[in-house]
Structure 1
């Protein structure tokens, strides 16, 4: 050992021990530092659970925009907040209506097994009004495929019957028992179109000879048709098909291309109404059908809304010639239907083709053009919301007037 000690030297062993101690201390410090620099572990996240959001109870200040043409659904908007509430999925050229009790949405739609061809299937799809999930499907023997029409599907005031307008092979109304989920039958309405529900067991149609047709159901759901005398010219001054009708009472307000208003009472035997002119209500001459005669005329796809509690009409008007009925409105006329006087004429910042009003005591007014929805205070006509990308199409509020 003494020889080994002499070879290495006692001092060399001590220095080696010192170096080992220093190295160990450095490694220990590095480990502590590395541990200190290690980020803390994130907290464990709760496990996600799948659920289905539910819509609020749909009140009168909710509006539905049904584009109906190349769209994936009808959109629901809250008029107070301007926020979108939900989307009702539908096939192209579908009609959507709400159960008067607010329990279901009914969608009259058609699909093909191969997309644009194959076996055609016509059905009335029933969706829960809160979750929008499909509750059931009722097969239909047919239906008319046409866009931007509100009155190709009607729901009775008590929610028992649906009236689906069809044109296969002739003009007819398919009656569906919504309680038993089955088709009761088909009633032909020769020369007439549309199927706006009135009362508990009747449907209103317009006819090519200028008359009204009312289809009334008996206890077994079989329909019989009664007609009024002719009161308008479908060839020279037709009526806009998206008219306003109060399902509960059978009252309706109809508007012609020249601006004649027809107050209709279809609660009993249909009678020919006496018209009055919106131009004369504004102190202007009645519009003419003569070529090149320019006047203020109603225009758009849904040019008139009716607030039944106040009796006010909201009409989209434009300056043009006869047969310019598809031109969107540049002005909004507010008319008292009782006194037949124009109360307000508002120049619109943006043209509009669709107008609707809520049926509550402080109503909202909805205007639509292309993909934009405007929400106004119906009393002051002050704009409350401008909603982009809302879709463009027929407007429906969830009150008694459709």
Structure 2
């Protein structure tokens, strides 16, 4: 049976056919089957040169000894004792097929090797005590749902998956980046370019989102959905009138708190811009504030917000106790819209918003009072690289740690129009010293970054493929990867 030519293979095939007709299921029958399969394989692909069928015995012995199994070729007088020997024989068959493939059939050889890897993996799972294999599984209560804590720990991060493949099905993942495994805790929806804010005082999450009566057409409904942190279940909603909520990829500052989290501010764009003031406690809309020529929401003082304007200025809006307009203040020009504009998502250090520009300059804005105040800035722009120039790049390019350090996602291929391309290096910047204090390469390119509020913070880098790479924010040391938390992780927010 274990010869070295085609006649031996044919003889094994004949033996397999005879044994099968006799209803036999022993080792000789399966060795014959292997010979039969090899013959059929070689004929199907026009392979005429010799391959050694004795490799069946060789490979089966090697794989069998790896798992403490008897070689199938040696068990010629009795049926196989368990399916592990079948797997060993199947693997040996695949390896013989590899040996039978000529050198110029690389694609075919690779296909068979992938199949062999799958069989080997199955062999590992099969090599367990038979008692464990046969033990019945314990009954599980259904449904079985675990709850999250009322207040999330500082290692939790909200990852906004815009879901470019299906924008009507956006979602936000809750991820514990400190967990060595099972870091993905759950998710909730944020439909049609939605935006989320998380309460630090209550066990509630708020999502401003948009729906259409026919999924992607029909009557439009803008809504703030309230979610419970523990169960990630919706507990209420507030309808936003007018169908005017601004929809962006994705700007956290299009939906923000003010007035001690009692109110929510929703940015509208029709393209006329305005802000809707919503009482989140009473679940009702209060008023709309017009914002001609200005965009987005940066909370100021006790009850108000600042907005960035198209002419390079910023306008501060003070609100009265009923949400109506109490006053406005407009700054001098400080944002070089044409020459070096600011990214619109800042990093917050206390009540100071730190913006970074497309070329790498930094600008601080004090938001602690009713009127926002320009603090001036400094620049780290202009450092050359082999690919061009070091510039910030990505969707969320700047974050901050509790000790006042800024972290910027940088690309060595910076040029006009590269500001959304992502980056491959982190620059750590001390705004008090106006200097870079560290730089470290990322293991994989990233599109967004966020720093957690833990005592020993982590830097989370969201990748193009939807996975998260976790680094020690103090040293830049890579810690772990959390695979595929979403499809389009455009923005992140650390639990605070």
Report the TM-score, using the length of structure 2 for normalisation. 0.66
**Structure 1 residue 105 corresponds to structure 2 residue 205:** yes
**Structure 1 residue 54 corresponds to structure 2 residue 119:** no
- Whether the 8 Å CA contact 1:229–1:271 is kept in 2: the answer is no
The size of the alignment, in residue pairs, is 346
Distance 1:49 1:220, change over 3 A: same
**Structure 1 residue 317 corresponds to structure 2 residue 410:** yes
**Structure 1 residue 74 corresponds to structure 2 residue 74:** no
**Structure 1 residue 152 corresponds to structure 2 residue 254:** yes
Q: Secondary structure at the match of 2:373?
A: coil
The equivalent residue for 1:34 is: none
- Whether the 8 Å CA contact 1:294–1:322 is kept in 2: the answer is no
The equivalent residue for 2:308 is: 206
Deviations 1:106-154 (A, max 9, x none): 0101101111111100100011111111111101023111122111110
Distance 1:165 1:46, change over 3 A: same
Superposition pairs of residues 73-222 of structure 1, within 5 angstroms: 73-81=171-179, 83-141=183-241, 142-156=244-258, 158-168=260-270, 170-222=272-324
Q: 1:266 aligns with which of 360, 367, 385?
A: 367
Deviations 1:25-56 (A, max 9, x none): xxxxxxxxxxxxxxxxx999879464642112
Q: Tell me how far apart the structure 1 counterparts of residues 137 and 411 of structure 2 sit (CA, whole Å).
A: 63
Superposition pairs of residues 218-233 of structure 1, within 5 angstroms: 218-223=320-325, 224-233=327-336
Distance 1:200 1:360, change over 3 A: farther
Q: Tell me how far apart the structure 2 counterparts of residues 196 and 131 of structure 1 sit (CA, whole Å).
A: 30
Deviations 1:137-193 (A, max 9, x none): 101023111122111110226220101000135111110001111010110111111
Structure with bigger helix share is 2
Structure 1 residue ranges, 4+ long, deviating more than 6 angstroms after superposition = 42-47
The equivalent residue for 1:237 is: 340
Q: Tell me how far apart the structure 2 counterparts of residues 259 and 169 of structure 1 sit (CA, whole Å).
A: 30
Q: Tell me how far apart the structure 2 counterparts of residues 106 and 278 of structure 1 sit (CA, whole Å).
A: 37
Q: Secondary structure at the match of 1:65?
A: strand
The equivalent residue for 1:381 is: 476
Q: Secondary structure at the match of 2:375?
A: coil
Q: Tell me how far apart the structure 1 counterparts of residues 235 and 392 of structure 2 sit (CA, whole Å).
A: 40
Distance 1:342 1:348, change over 3 A: same
Q: Tell me how far apart the structure 2 counterparts of residues 74 and 336 of structure 1 sit (CA, whole Å).
A: 31
The equivalent residue for 1:254 is: 355
Q: Please identify the structure whose Cα radius of gyration is greater.
A: 1
Q: Which runs of 5+ in 2 are unaligned?
A: 1-134
Q: Secondary structure at the match of 1:274?
A: strand
Q: Secondary structure at the match of 1:233?
A: coil
Distance 1:47 1:300, change over 3 A: closer
CA RMSD of aligned residues (A): 2.4
Highest RCO, 1 vs 2 (Cα 8 Å, sep ≥ 6): 1
Q: Tell me how far apart the structure 2 counterparts of residues 373 and 297 of structure 1 sit (CA, whole Å).
A: 22
Distance 1:200 1:61, change over 3 A: farther
**Structure 1 residue 331 corresponds to structure 2 residue 413:** no
